[in-house]
Amino acid sequence: MKIAIIGTRGIPNNYGGFEQCAEYLAVGLVKRGFAVTVYNSHNHPFQETTWNGVNLIHAYDPEFKYGTVGQFIYDYNCIRDCRQRDFDIILQLGYTSSSVWGKLLPRKKTIVTTNMDGLEWKRSKFSKPVQRFLQFAEKMAVTHSDHLISDSIGIQQYLKDKFNVDSTFIAYGAHSFTTPDPGDLAAYKLTLYGYDMLIARLEPENSIEVILDGVVQAGVDRPFLVVGKHESQYGEYLKNKFQGAANIQFVGGIYNINTLNNIRYYSNLYFHGHTVGGTNPSLLEAMASGALICANDNAFNKYVLEEDALYFSTAADVAAALGTVRKEDPAYAKMLEDNSKKIELVYNWDRIIDQYATHFQEIFKARQHKRVTRAKLS
Residue 124 pLDDT:
65
| Separation in Å, CA 180 to CA 11, 139, 190 | 28, 44, 15
Residue 208: CB partners within 8 Å, gap ≥ 6?
Answer: 198, 200, 202, 226, 238, 273
Q: What is the pLDDT of residue 177?
A: 95
- All CATH 3.40.50.2000 domain ranges of the chain, comma separated, are 2-173+348-377, 182-345
Cis peptide before 12 (omega within 30 of 0): yes
Which residues make beta-bridge pairs with 294? 271, 310
Helix, strand, coil percentages (3-state) for the chain, rounded to 5, are 45, 15, 35
CA quadruple 65, 66, 68, 69: dihedral sign: negative
DSSP letter at 327 equals T
3.40.50.12160, 3.40.50.2000, 3.40.50.20, 3.40.50.2300: CATH of 182-345: 3.40.50.2000
CATH architecture of 2-173+348-377: 3-Layer(aba) Sandwich (3.40)
pLDDT of residue 16: 67
The Cβ of residue 165 has, within 10 Å, a number of other Cβ atoms equal to 14
pLDDT mean for each 10 residues of the chain (378 residues) = 96 83 96 98 96 98 90 97 97 91 95 86 73 91 96 90 96 93 96 97 92 98 94 92 96 90 98 85 94 95 95 98 97 98 94 97 93 77
Q: CA 372 to CA 378: how far, in whole Å?
A: 10
- E-assigned strands of 32-106? 35-41, 50-51, 54-59, 89-93
Distance, in Å, from the CA atom of 182 to the CA atom of 342, rounded to the nearest integer, reads 25
